[in-house]
Structure 1
Amino acid sequence: MKTTISEIFSSIQGEGKLIGRRQVFVRFTGCNLNCNYCDTPLSRDPDYGDEFEIDTLHQKIDELITPDFHSVSFTGGEPLLHADFIKNFLEKYPLPSMLETNGSLPGELVKLTELVDCVSMDVKLPEHEAVSNWDDLLDQEIKSIKILIEKGINSYCKLVVQPSTTTETVAFIASRIKDEIPDNHKISLVVQPASPLDMWAGKTHKLLEISEKAGEHLDVLTIPQVHKLLNLR
């Protein structure tokens, strides 16, 4: 089995709840969404990158593992477009792993629930212009969240916000998620201010307002892209 990967590299995780952890990043090509804030636009091209087989990918990862290695991050693009490849890889090489996904493909996510250790799910806003029907996308993302909770996977949601993002939109999304998940579960929402941070000059009060509104429904953390502050990939 082969698939196309745009890049493989070792760096510090700069987003979400595993921030600061050393990971080997495997960036798959192709994406089913078209977000206007995407910082890896080349990865959306399904033909960009090189073909890898399972064994050659493992060899490359193994070469990049350092003493502080925490896990492999399967990212993209959208890695769930390569779910069968990832499944076969982890069945043969059960490395600690993290999946970074947009959550729009719950049927593909199910294939990996027994294999990945952590999932970061990037919930989209209407203003991200990812798809023509945002309501349908949110429904699919919520299906994915429920799958992760039911399977007991260490997971959280991430929401990229811009200065133009309204607190009402964030509150609506947070309340929808809360209403759909079990009462005894409180999933975390990582609010990620879009980069570059210069765009937030004089507007950081907005992040406090967003956090407060989302916090009425979910556990909230506000974390910028630290790897960009450190000038790392």
Structure 2
Amino acid sequence: MSQYKVVETFTSINGEGVLAGQLAVFVRFQGCNLACSYCDTAWANQDSTAYSILTEQQIYQLIKKTGVKNVTLTGGEPLLVPDIMQLLELLAADSNLHVEIETNGSIDLLTFTKISNRPVFTMDYKLPGSLMESKMLVSNFKLLTKNDVVKFVVGSIEDLNCARKTITMHHLITKCHVYISTVFGKIGLDEVVEYMKANCMNGVTLQLQMHKVIWDPDKRGI
């Protein structure tokens, strides 16, 4: 069996995305290849972060014991985790689970799209304010389906301009769900709405990070 560095597991609601407001089991893995300026889980990316070693069977059993069918694998960057394919295939074999992977947009998704009953991807596209836009792998856009999500986290009008250009250039509205989220405290939600109105951004969803509304924004395990 493989071994995975898991920094936390918890049951909560999905704070964002297509299943926002629904219960989900979260499994957070250690480590990331990016360093976004606004990262709110940077603590999970450090080599010094405490973690538990779990096998794929232990993770699966942990999920099943909750009785919750939605599963969110996050990080860090879960697709960088060694042997993650074994875990994904195990979870995919259970048709009662709905598995979502939160991925940062810099990892090639091709291999993972070949899994039978493959997981749903919630893929970021990092905008200029993140300082990580150069790391984005735009070829991933061709691999997305109607079940998947592209998420743009905006902190400025410059970010909004870049998001709009990217959405249009890659015809994302016709391929997948498209969401805009805000860097907490950086740009007003009303500013984003006015921008969307001014630019007639049909098919784009402004999402609130519900978990940061319900709980303290810096609280873990939510």
TM-score, with normalisation over the residues of structure 2?
Answer: 0.82
| 1:117-158 alpha-carbon deviations (Å, 9 max, x no partner) | 32111111111123xxx3x323x1x2112112xxx3511211
Alignment-derived partner of residue 15 in structure 2: 14
**Could you tell me which amino acid in structure 2 is paired with residue 76 of structure 1?**
G
CA-CA distance at 1:97 after TM superposition: 0.1
CA-CA distance at 1:215 after TM superposition: 4.5
| 1:183-227 alpha-carbon deviations (Å, 9 max, x no partner) | x9253321112225xx65xx44311233236654x6211111101
Aligned length: 209
Say whether the 8 Å CA contact 2:129–2:154 is kept in structure 1. no
Alignment-derived partner of residue 56 in structure 1: 58
| 1:22-80 alpha-carbon deviations (Å, 9 max, x no partner) | 11001011001101211112111145211111111112222223xxx241101111111
1:67-146 equivalent positions in 2, closer than 5 A: 69-82=68-81, 84-85=83-84, 87-94=85-92, 95-106=97-108, 109-113=109-113, 114=115, 115-130=117-132, 134=133, 136-138=134-136, 140=137, 142-146=138-142
Change over 3 Å in CA distance of 1:214–1:220 after alignment to 2: farther
Alignment-derived partner of residue 221 in structure 1: 205
* Identity rate, percent: 30
User: 1: distance between equivalents of 2:200 and 2:82?
Assistant: 33
Say whether the 8 Å CA contact 1:96–1:116 is kept in structure 2. no
Structure 1 or 2: more helix by fraction: 1
Say whether the 8 Å CA contact 2:91–2:99 is kept in structure 1. no
| 1:74-112 alpha-carbon deviations (Å, 9 max, x no partner) | 111111102632x21232332320011111011xx2222
1:193-232 equivalent positions in 2, closer than 5 A: 193-196=182-185, 203-212=188-197, 215-216=200-201, 219-231=203-215
Say whether the 8 Å CA contact 1:120–1:157 is kept in structure 2. yes
Alignment-derived partner of residue 155 in structure 1: 148
Structure 2 unaligned segments of length 5 or more: list them: 216-220
Change over 3 Å in CA distance of 1:128–1:90 after alignment to 2: closer
Secondary structure of the corresponding residue to residue 28 of structure 2? strand
Alignment-derived partner of residue 218 in structure 2: none
User: 2: distance between equivalents of 1:82 and 1:75?
Assistant: 11
TM-score, with normalisation over the residues of structure 1?
Answer: 0.79
User: 2: distance between equivalents of 1:190 and 1:121?
Assistant: 10
Secondary structure of the corresponding residue to residue 181 of structure 2? strand
Q: CA RMSD in A?
A: 2.4
Alignment-derived partner of residue 31 in structure 2: 30
Structure 1 unaligned segments of length 5 or more: list them: none
CA-CA distance at 1:159 after TM superposition: 1.4
